[in-house]
Structure 1
Amino acid sequence: MKQLLTFLLMCLLTTAWAQTPQSNLNDKAKLMGTLIDSLTHKPIPYASVALMAGEKTINGCLTDEAGVFELTGLSEGSYTLQITGLGYRPQLIPNLIINRSTNVSALGIVQLSSSAQLLKSVDVVGQAPLIEHQIDKVVYHADKDIGAATGDGADVLRRAPQVTVDVDGTPSLRGSSALRLLINGKPSGLMGNQAADVLRSIPASQIKSVEIITSPASQYDAEGTAGIINIILKRKTIEGVNASLDAVLGSLRSIGNANVTYQRKRLTLVGNIGGNKLWHQVSKGSFSRTDNRFNTQTQQSGSQNDTRYAGNGNIGVELDLSKKSTLMMTLRGNTSVNETNGTGHTQYRAPQETNAISSTIKQWGSDYSVDWITDFRQKLRREGEEISFSTQYSHNEGQPNYQTRLNYEQGALWAERSKGKNNWTEKTAQFDYTLPWKKGSLAMGAKIIYRQLNTQRDVYQLDETLVSEQLNAERSNKLSYEQTVGAFYATTNHTLSDLLSLKLGLRYEFTQLEGLSVSAQYYPVFYQKYGNLFPYIALMRRFKKHDQTLRLVYNKRLQRPGIGYLNPFLSASNPFYRSQGDPSIKPELTDQIELAYSQSKNKYNLNVATYYRLTRQLIERYTRLSLNTLKVIDSTSSQTVVATDTYGNIGVLTSWGVNLFGSFNLSSQWSLRSSINLSTYQLSLQKGYTDLITQTGVQGSINGGTQYQFKKGLSVELSGVCNTPRRNPQGWNNHFSFFSINIRKQLSSKKGYWQLNIVEPFQGIKTFRTEVEGEGFYQTSARFSPFRAFNLSFNLNIGKEIKRQNRGSKINNDDLK
């Protein structure tokens, strides 16, 4: 393996040296230009460019990732330039004069129109493509899906191909939640929390598109064994002042958002503010466990009431320092307040005792996060040559709290309270350089990330009045944690022929982490240091007929354990259930091979991808039972069987999978779409975890919909999602499905719309079940949650949009599980 990696690195360096442009290669002329999308003004990579003399092809190439093409060694004469790109209308440029005396003929910018656009000047009723398949990713254009206009980020991802989202809002890609979630190509200060919290903070109406990258190239962080999901937010660049308003009034939650943009010559100012509120929602649940090891039985039932408020905002400045240099600065923030009140009843049966216990629990907290991002880009002399420098500072603070009380039927009482504080800081610096050459390009860069986390949990034992309290030093905890990640990468693109291209990449990442956890007399110190090489190889073959492509990709990635997986603090807000991290967990490593085929025509798009994925040192959560002595307030003790969840490198996971997607335009007004994802789960347990119940099987998801556009701005959409139960080392959880209806009416000014969204009109309460089986025990749980929803949305845009080059940040901190 080391010999292979060394060979790839030598190929990258020698190819870069050999391909670097030299002066006076020949005395013939050359033709240069750049292809961009006529709507988005984004570069079009890997489009076919052919220079024709009559019906004979004289020369040709594929555009690089920046949309740049270059044809060299040309003789004088009159030619026709033929341009074709996947998903775009072919374009011919006739009577193109090549004159050797000018040496270089520059076409400049060439715009291509989407093949799905209907070029009419009156009442365009046609439909633009919802899903776009590019060389290294799939793009879901959420702003063109009327069903994705209400809710939050999780609701949008449920409609995206290859993505599944469970009832709690946690996304998975190809059956694995080990993915990286980015916003506009960058992480958020909220990333220290769960992905579900990040998605809840994003209004659906603000999402422009979702990029799904299943085999990321070397310029991306190696973190995220399942891949990367990049959420692109809407952004308007206009002359003068532009504003937009979005509001959703719903039966389960309400959302509001406002945007303002100002542009004057070289200066652009952007501002956004929004908020959402989850109305009081009451859900019920049940739990049952049979334990043959300790000969106990536990039955629980209860209900809880959830409330949540959240706000977000950002301000941005873009300044063109010159024609070739740009400076961008963005400040964004999020804040939320949440509260859960629950009651329950437990029947606990053991050989020596039987207890009936009533309980109350209150969980509440708040958090806020800020991100400060700076990007500088400088274009150099060659077309497409560029350097960039980016920095990012992120900070997050949270205050999680809980209070629990148990009342035994014998009159005994147990109660405790916990007060917590989290403080997370992340600093990033990154440098990138891009150099195009004849039939290829080179990109290289370096990056460093420093993270620091301090947490504190103070646990108090309460008396009967729930007022007097005493600190429980054994349960209280302080944690100090630092992590440093350094990375270097290089990638090369090669156009081997008119229809064949090759991309090679190599990335090295070094990781060092250390932490100290303090709890009474327990002082565990954990320290890890490791370095990894991550090769990337992609070969793409384009076929002239029907805009077909075939792509074969190999890459290697890793998944570092997040602090929640490492922290040894014992969290026990429920005395019958505890969770604890393991500081000895190592990163999981994944090798993946993917073969993908796509075909695009005016009336349909088809994509089929198959993959093989092998994950070593798999990180998974598992449950084990143990006896625990519970000290109640009257100084007596009660022994109970406690379930403890923790994490470990439990074994090797092998997965085969297939992704199918198709969209069909039955007419200019009526379209259909469907996506099917299937994958296997084959787990081999390693020593120390053989008491777990090995699970094998198939899991998958399907989503689809149909949309019809009537005249006068009226649209109707029906859609549905169904996820099979997700496998885990000890069972399965969360079968999930829903059905929705969307009716949208465009305003007469065509600058906004009204929309009615109905979710699960025929089922008010949905049931979500989980099954866990371990050594000597079997348990099931069910949650009954309100799901039927009625949402009325309003959107209004003010101002005239113009098109301008996209200037996204280079920072992608996609590296924590």
Structure 2
Amino acid sequence: MKKITLLILLISFTAVAQRTTKGIASKITLTGKVLETNSKQPLEYATLVLTNTNTQQIIGGVTDANGSFSIDASSGTYDIKVEFIGFKTKSLGNHNLTENKSLGTILLSEDAETLEEVEVIAEKSTVEIRLDKKIYNVGKDMTVKGGNASDVLDNVPSVNVDAEGAVSLRGNENVRILIDGKPSALVGLSGTDALRNLPADAIEKVEVITSPSARYDAEGTAGILNIILRKGKVRGFNGSLNFSVGNPDLYRISSNLNYRTKKFNIFSNLGYSYRKGPGNAFSDFTYLTDGVIDSLSIEKREYDRKNKSFNGSFGMEYYLNDKSSLTGTVFYRNNDGKDIATNNTDVFSPANDPIRSLKRVETETEDDIDIQYSLNYTNNIDDKGQKLIIDLQYSENEEDELADITNNNILAEQNSQVTKSKNRLLQIDYVLPLGEKSQLELGHKADLQDLTSDFRVRDENGQPFDFDPSNAIDFKQYIYAYYAQYGSKIDKFSYLLGLRAEYTDVDLEVLNTGEFSDKNYTEWFPTVNLGYEFSETDNLTLGYARRLRRPRHWFLNPFETRSSDTYVFKGNPDLNPTYTSSFDLGYTTRVSKVTLNSSLYYQFSTDLIRPVSRIETRDKGNVFVRQFLNLNDEDRYGFELTTNYNPAKWARLSATFNYFKFRTDAFDYTYSYTNPINGDLVTETESLPEVNSSSWFARFNSRITLPAKIEWQTRIMYRGPQDDAQGSREGIFVTNLAFSKDIFKDKASLVLNVSDLFNERKRKSYTNTARVMSYQEFQWRERQITLSFTYRFNQKKKRERSGRNGDFDGGGEGF
């Protein structure tokens, strides 16, 4: 496999070298800006189409967030047109281009006659390459219809979502997830679990930022995933309704509604769902004492989940004048769940004789309420790109969980946990263009979180146990950040240099023990992003960024999970941040109908945060305990390749391959606990060996147009096996199928989607230590079949013209 990937890289670089040496005509750069006629608002993703009048060759480009464009072309005479969905196409006539030229400001007017023929969802997914990120437009992806945000992320190249919902980027699970560029209540207190309640139809695109510039938070050693929600761009009332039903039981209704006038834009995303989520787990433990088998146990677990969820966001953008606007958004989510976990545990002697059996049933009800208020002020100070953006955000999150646990049908425990969080955010960004090709950005951000969690464990009579795992914490994390970055373009070379400073103050108090931890630190995070365009179809990027991973509150909270009597997870209040230096070399080329994106990357991390397993002896026997620790350093490097191939109008193919290798230093750690049998303090030392391992994952996607205009989409994903310091994980194979048919004169679509066709999306792992050998199998969600109906009003299908893959504009988001 290594030889194949290296050969592909060699062929790719050779191809670009050959093409760049064949150029005869001189190169020129065409610049300008596209605005809406009445509001003078910039039109992002407007398309410039240049047709060579002699060769009829067509090249083009798209505008950035400021409406600016910069297109490189060979000298010659071109017929130039400007297009944007819902607007009248503007012809600029023929231009004889012999030197760099600016077209100035181009104004586009909305086309009232064709307004009803506009679709805000692109016909196909496209990829845009920016200097510091890749943008994946979700497009008409049938395999996520009726799904949620986790399904969308799992279909984005470089991203994987495992059986438990954990999101990883290039095999690294420390990913920062943002909504519309900011932390959001959509992610909630439960982390990525909350993404399962965000409908896929609410998402317009996902930005994958593997080498973030200084404008982004330093959090996330793997990088950042920024989910952009849909907002209408055309005037009048338009939107869509989606209805989905499925097996296991799934009922969902969602809407995206938008009303826009010259003075304001009202937008909303609403969704309600009811879902059953059956799952299962299996664990086989062999306990050892001095290398001799002490006992064995087998645990089988069944999950019966029922969930009702309502998501609603409502916002209005008000255009104060031609250059500035004020946008207010309210988001509300109410999630009610009832989960029943049934554990059947059998314990055996070394001779395999039964010792005891236990049926442990946890019945948990959960009520989550999240509310968030956001206010954005944007002032496009002048037509040159000078901009001031101010964001204010306030959110409250509350999770109430009640759980009754029975052992062999007898009430044994009554548990409760109440978690409340308040978050405040202030962000100021200022953009100052310096000439036509350079700009300076400055910014400040304050992100403040106050969280309390009260976890109580009581016996059948409502009294504490002698060995009481109850606890309550008070957690505060205040982050203050400042950044500056400067970017410019010199001919075909672009660069973006930045520096970010973040001051972090973290306080954690365990209220029932009086333990208190106060950690504060100031760190500097330099970023470098470089790009070079060989031609309209070939470019090279190089990025460096220093990042960190702060431990979340659930990593620090020392409470123990109670679903199982023999397998628990607990937090670690002594965790420190992980720091990572990341390097990324990317190359993009397009040859005929094939587009190729490739990357080589390297990451060096210190104080690595990883889960470690151990055995503790308690009154009911051995207990398998899993806890996060700071390990030693890690080196990680890999190669990624993404290709798109459209052999015919009726066939579209794409594939992603990622191979990575990592090495973690050997590590010795000491832990202590109190033996509840005799009250003695037990102190033990474990040694973790050096790990030198590798893994890979691949994804293939095909979309075929069948007779009667039925669309057939297949997605196949395989995540390879992987070793760690205490064991290994088997590979995972997943296949999704979808069939789609447009009806009612293309105003509606009917989609049949089968997720995990072979019902094999299971995490299978092995753990081997001096005290235990185990095999564990976990399936969060079983195969899902979904039928979705989408109706669009004031929208019909219109295929977007794809822009070029490289976008290195000299201003705004082009960097």
So what's the TM-score if we normalise by structure 2? 0.81
Q: Which residue number in structure 2 is paired with residue 189 of structure 1?
A: 185
- RMSD between superposed Cα atoms in Å: 3.7
User: When the two structures are aligned, how many residues end up with a matched partner?
Assistant: 717
Given the superposition, is the C-alpha separation of residues 798 and 694 from structure 1 closer, same or farther in structure 2, using an over 3 Å criterion? Answer: same
SS at match of 2:187: helix
- Report the alpha carbon displacement of residue 538 of structure 1 after superposing the two structures with TM: 1.5
For 2:459 and 2:46, the matched residues in 1 are separated by 63
Q: Which residue number in structure 1 is paired with residue 594 of structure 2?
A: 604
More displaced stretch, 482-491 vs 305-314? 305-314
Give, as a single letter, the amino acid of the residue that structure 2 aligns with 1:268.
N
- Report the alpha carbon displacement of residue 764 of structure 1 after superposing the two structures with TM: 4.8
Q: How does 1:96-495 map to 2 (within 5 A)?
A: 107-109=104-106, 128-252=124-248, 253-279=250-276, 281=278, 283=280, 285-293=282-290, 295-349=294-348, 354-407=355-408, 415-438=412-435, 439-462=437-460, 468-472=461-465, 474-495=468-489
Q: Which residue number in structure 2 is paired with residue 568 of structure 1?
A: 558
2:131/2:529 contact within 8 Å kept: no
Deviations along 1:577-598, one digit per CA (max 9) or x if unpaired, are: 2322222211100001111000
Unpaired runs of 5+ residues, structure 2, are: 1-28, 56-60, 83-90, 109-116, 671-685, 799-812
Given the superposition, is the C-alpha separation of residues 558 and 336 from structure 1 closer, same or farther in structure 2, using an over 3 Å criterion? Answer: same
- Report the alpha carbon displacement of residue 687 of structure 1 after superposing the two structures with TM: 4.3
Q: Does 1:537 align with 2:525?
A: no
- Report the alpha carbon displacement of residue 706 of structure 1 after superposing the two structures with TM: 1.3
Give, as a single letter, the amino acid of the residue that structure 1 aligns with 2:485.
T
1:143/1:149 contact within 8 Å kept: no
Given the superposition, is the C-alpha separation of residues 264 and 688 from structure 1 closer, same or farther in structure 2, using an over 3 Å criterion? Answer: same
Deviations along 1:14-65, one digit per CA (max 9) or x if unpaired, are: xxxxxxxxxxxxxxxx996226999x942589x999xx9x99xxxxx99987
Given the superposition, is the C-alpha separation of residues 698 and 305 from structure 1 closer, same or farther in structure 2, using an over 3 Å criterion? Answer: same
- Report the alpha carbon displacement of residue 446 of structure 1 after superposing the two structures with TM: 0.6
SS at match of 1:471: coil
For 2:253 and 2:698, the matched residues in 1 are separated by 31
1:722/1:736 contact within 8 Å kept: yes
Give, as a single letter, the amino acid of the residue that structure 2 aligns with 1:386.
K
Q: Does 1:656 align with 2:657?
A: no
For 2:76 and 2:756, the matched residues in 1 are separated by 59
Given the superposition, is the C-alpha separation of residues 185 and 64 from structure 1 closer, same or farther in structure 2, using an over 3 Å criterion? Answer: closer
Deviations along 1:490-518, one digit per CA (max 9) or x if unpaired, are: 11112122x11111011000000112112
Given the superposition, is the C-alpha separation of residues 558 and 783 from structure 1 closer, same or farther in structure 2, using an over 3 Å criterion? Answer: closer
2:665/2:690 contact within 8 Å kept: yes
For 2:174 and 2:81, the matched residues in 1 are separated by 37
Give, as a single letter, the amino acid of the residue that structure 1 aligns with 2:32.
G
1:404/1:417 contact within 8 Å kept: yes
Given the superposition, is the C-alpha separation of residues 67 and 292 from structure 1 closer, same or farther in structure 2, using an over 3 Å criterion? Answer: farther
For 2:477 and 2:118, the matched residues in 1 are separated by 58
Q: Which residue number in structure 2 is paired with residue 10 of structure 1?
A: none
Given the superposition, is the C-alpha separation of residues 202 and 778 from structure 1 closer, same or farther in structure 2, using an over 3 Å criterion? Answer: same
Deviations along 1:730-777, one digit per CA (max 9) or x if unpaired, are: 22346322212211111232222111123344x356553121122332
SS at match of 1:196: helix
Given the superposition, is the C-alpha separation of residues 524 and 232 from structure 1 closer, same or farther in structure 2, using an over 3 Å criterion? Answer: same
1:691/1:774 contact within 8 Å kept: no
Q: Which residue number in structure 2 is paired with residue 27 of structure 1?
A: none
For 1:276 and 1:203, the matched residues in 2 are separated by 9
SS at match of 2:193: helix
Match of 2:654 among 673, 678, 681: 673
SS at match of 1:469: coil
2:188/2:194 contact within 8 Å kept: no
Calculate percent identity across the aligned residue pairs.
25
1:152/1:202 contact within 8 Å kept: yes
For 1:317 and 1:122, the matched residues in 2 are separated by 21
SS at match of 2:571: coil
Q: Does 1:782 align with 2:784?
A: no
Deviations along 1:452-483, one digit per CA (max 9) or x if unpaired, are: 00111121111xxxxx3313483321211111
For 2:97 and 2:585, the matched residues in 1 are separated by 41
SS at match of 1:381: coil
Give, as a single letter, the amino acid of the residue that structure 1 aligns with 2:206.
V
For 1:216 and 1:366, the matched residues in 2 are separated by 36
- Report the alpha carbon displacement of residue 106 of structure 1 after superposing the two structures with TM: 5.8
For 1:741 and 1:221, the matched residues in 2 are separated by 37
- Report the alpha carbon displacement of residue 665 of structure 1 after superposing the two structures with TM: 0.8
For 2:786 and 2:692, the matched residues in 1 are separated by 40
For 1:414 and 1:748, the matched residues in 2 are separated by 56
For 1:42 and 1:561, the matched residues in 2 are separated by 37
Match of 1:794 among 789, 792, 802: 789
- Report the alpha carbon displacement of residue 602 of structure 1 after superposing the two structures with TM: 5.2
Give, as a single letter, the amino acid of the residue that structure 2 aligns with 1:524.
E
Match of 2:508 among 515, 519, 523: 515
Given the superposition, is the C-alpha separation of residues 669 and 105 from structure 1 closer, same or farther in structure 2, using an over 3 Å criterion? Answer: closer
Deviations along 1:200-221, one digit per CA (max 9) or x if unpaired, are: 0111222222211111110000
For 1:421 and 1:801, the matched residues in 2 are separated by 47
SS at match of 1:155: helix
More displaced stretch, 394-403 vs 656-665? 394-403
Deviations along 1:643-680, one digit per CA (max 9) or x if unpaired, are: 22111111111111111000001012211110011111
Deviations along 1:71-106, one digit per CA (max 9) or x if unpaired, are: 9xxxxxx99689999xxxxx99744799xxxxx976
Q: Which residue number in structure 2 is paired with residue 624 of structure 1?
A: 614
- Report the alpha carbon displacement of residue 610 of structure 1 after superposing the two structures with TM: 0.6
Given the superposition, is the C-alpha separation of residues 364 and 775 from structure 1 closer, same or farther in structure 2, using an over 3 Å criterion? Answer: farther
More displaced stretch, 654-663 vs 126-135? 126-135
For 1:292 and 1:588, the matched residues in 2 are separated by 34
- Report the alpha carbon displacement of residue 292 of structure 1 after superposing the two structures with TM: 3.3
SS at match of 1:540: strand
For 1:317 and 1:311, the matched residues in 2 are separated by 20
- Report the alpha carbon displacement of residue 783 of structure 1 after superposing the two structures with TM: 3.4
Given the superposition, is the C-alpha separation of residues 182 and 83 from structure 1 closer, same or farther in structure 2, using an over 3 Å criterion? Answer: farther
Give, as a single letter, the amino acid of the residue that structure 2 aligns with 1:789.
Q
SS at match of 1:156: helix
For 2:347 and 2:591, the matched residues in 1 are separated by 63
Give, as a single letter, the amino acid of the residue that structure 2 aligns with 1:584.
D
So what's the TM-score if we normalise by structure 1? 0.81
Deviations along 1:523-568, one digit per CA (max 9) or x if unpaired, are: 1101001011111112111012x61001111111001110011112
SS at match of 1:295: strand
For 1:650 and 1:696, the matched residues in 2 are separated by 15
- Report the alpha carbon displacement of residue 380 of structure 1 after superposing the two structures with TM: 1.4
For 1:70 and 1:724, the matched residues in 2 are separated by 41
- Report the alpha carbon displacement of residue 640 of structure 1 after superposing the two structures with TM: 0.9
Given the superposition, is the C-alpha separation of residues 62 and 780 from structure 1 closer, same or farther in structure 2, using an over 3 Å criterion? Answer: closer
Give, as a single letter, the amino acid of the residue that structure 2 aligns with 1:756.
L
More displaced stretch, 312-321 vs 138-147? 138-147
Q: Which residue number in structure 2 is paired with residue 528 of structure 1?
A: 519
For 2:465 and 2:494, the matched residues in 1 are separated by 64
